[in-house]
Amino acid sequence: MTDRLTIRRPDDWHVHLRDGAMLQAVAGHTARQFARAIIMPNLTPPVTGIAMAQAYRDRIRAALGEDVDFMPLMTCYLTDHSDAEEIAAGHAAGVFTACKLYPAHATTNSAHGVTDILRLTTVLETLQRIGMPLLIHGEVTDRSIDIFDREAVFVERVLTPLTRDYPALKIVLEHITTAEAAAFVAEAAHPIAATITPQHLLINRNAIFDGGLRPHAYCLPVLKRETHRLAVRRAAVSGSPRFFLGTDSAPHVVGAKESGCGCAGIFNAPFALEAYLRVFEEENALDRFEGFASEHGARFYGLPLNDGTVTLVRKAVTVPDRIGDVVPFLAGETLGWRFEG
Ligand SMILES: NC(=O)N[C@@H](CC(=O)O)C(=O)O
Ligand SMILES: [Zn+2]
Ligand SMILES: [Zn+2]
């Protein structure tokens, strides 16, 4: 039995570091485990331009302090009015790594998102031409579609035609939760990949209603039924380079979660690698963990692999009930691996 696992330093390809006091509180958790992270732009107001992204990147670096070796990779929040030239200039200048498409009103802070993908024609042509990835929150927002079906319907109605219309556009379907999304990404004759969160690997929708309403198990896309969890697990441990780590760590203060209208989002950054490793161990796939955590994402983005390593050891670690004002994922549970650094 392996008791120590040393892998190349990993990256988190989808994280919310927020701003202000929350940024101060959470940034260190991500920087402790990951060398780089794709920083989500859904602040209020959203990060839509070069100057905003540079200022946000500076705030992230300031929150971490000089000595911390962590590279925030910034993203541009797309709106109906996004400017393709600004995006291309930001990419050329090394400010923007990718663009993020939130269908309007699909999730937290997406009110300024895109109302109709047809408005993005010039932007998408530009991304395709310059090889800049498009990251997608893949849910339709049609309120007549059942919330548990919104991802599968997005794959059929939006993603399928999008890949036809832009055959060379690099796409990352974020935080996949369904068998349909996993199959589409695995099989498409298209440069497409997907990130997978720890929660969608470890729990199913029963967790939201386990003996009562559990706001800390609520995120978007919402957890699905067990068959989908199993399909997403198979994708994660398959060794396919199209699937990689993206925590979607999305902290909200406890009062915003435990509310009559609680926010969507699960804060999993503090024990992210430990949580993923539980899955890879249960699936007898420890040998595939490094690819998922440290290689597939960088290769898809066309970025160098990290130097250096991190080690996890087989030691019990109990997730605290609270970290600051936030309830972490798996609060109170004991995990079998511990991140050593
Ligand atoms: N995943 C979530 O449930 N919430 C995210 C937004 C998102 O990634 O959709 C957030 O910003 O809180
Ligand atoms: Zn999302
Ligand atoms: Zn997210």
**What is the tens place of the pLDDT at every residue in 231-287?**
999 999 999 999 999 999 999 999 999 999 999 999 999 999 999 999 999 999 999
**In sequence order, which ranges of the chain are alpha helices (DSSP H)?**
20-33, 50-64, 84-92, 121-130, 150-154, 160-165, 179-187, 198-202, 226-237, 254-257, 272-282, 289-290, 296-301
Q: In Å, how far are 87, 102, 166 from 125, measured between CA atoms?
A: 12, 18, 7
Average pLDDT over every residue of 220-227 = 98
Give the nearest ligand 1 atom to 106 CA.
9
**What integer pLDDT is reported at residue 241 of this predicted model?**
98
Q: What proportion of the chain, given as a percentage, has pLDDT over 70?
A: 100
As annotated, the active-site residues are 248
For ligand 1, whether the C-beta of 151 sits within 6 Å is no
* Cβ count within 10 A of residue 3: 9
Nearest ligand 1 atom, CA 16: 11
Q: What mean pLDDT do residues 67-81 have?
A: 98
Whole-number Å distance between alpha carbons of 234 and 27? 30
**Average pLDDT score over residue span 162-166:** 98
Cβ neighbours of residue 230 closer than 8 Å, sequence gap 6 or more: none
CB 176 within 8 A of CB 194: yes
Sheet with 11-15, edge to edge strand ranges: 11-15, 36-39, 71-77, 96-101, 134-136, 171-173, 192-196, 243-245
d(CA 37, CA 146): 32
Give the pLDDT of residue 28.
Answer: 98
Pocket test for ligand 1, best of 15, 23, 44, 108 (most atoms within 8 A of CB): 108
State the first-to-last Cα distance of the chain, in angstroms, to the nearest integer.
21
The reported pLDDT for the residue numbered 58 is: 98
Is there a contact between 121 and 129 (Cβ–Cβ < 8 Å)?
no
Cα-to-centroid distance, 287 and ligand 1 (Å): 30
Confidence (pTM)? 0.98
In order of their start, the domains of the chain are 12-305 (3.20.20.140)
Average pLDDT over residues 154-181: 98
* Beta bridge pairs of residue 196: 245
Q: Which whole number is the average pLDDT over 20-29?
A: 98
Q: Mean per-residue pLDDT for 91-100? A: 98
Give the model confidence (pLDDT) of 168-218 as tens digits: 999 999 999 999 999 999 999 999 999 999 999 999 999 999 999 999 999
> What confidence score (pLDDT) does residue 2 get?
84
Look up the ipTM and state it.
0.99
* Of 136, 138, 165, residue with least CA distance to 149: 138
**Which residue from 278, 269, 186, 199 is spatially nearest to 234, judged by alpha carbons?**
186
- Ligand 1 contact, 264 CB (< 6 A): yes
Angle, alpha carbons 118-146-255 (nearest 5°): 95
At 329, is the pLDDT very low, low, confident or very high (cuts 50, 70, 90)?
very high
- Give yes or no for a contact between 178 and 151, defined as CB atoms under 8 angstroms apart: yes
201 is in an annotated binding site: no
How many Å apart are CA 169 and CA 175, to the nearest integer? 19
Closest CA to 326 of 267, 272, 241: 267
The verdict on the CB of residue 97 being under 6 Å from ligand 1 is no
Mean of the per-residue pLDDT values of the chain? 98
Assign 114 to helix, strand or coil: strand
Least distant ligand from the CA of 174 = 2
Distance 151 CA to ligand 3 centre (A): 14
The confidence score (pLDDT) of residue 1 equals 72
210 marked as part of a ligand binding site: no
The pLDDT value recorded for residue 34 is 99
Close Cβ partners of 13 (under 8 Å, ≥ 6 residues apart):
37, 38, 172, 195, 244, 245, 246, 297, 301
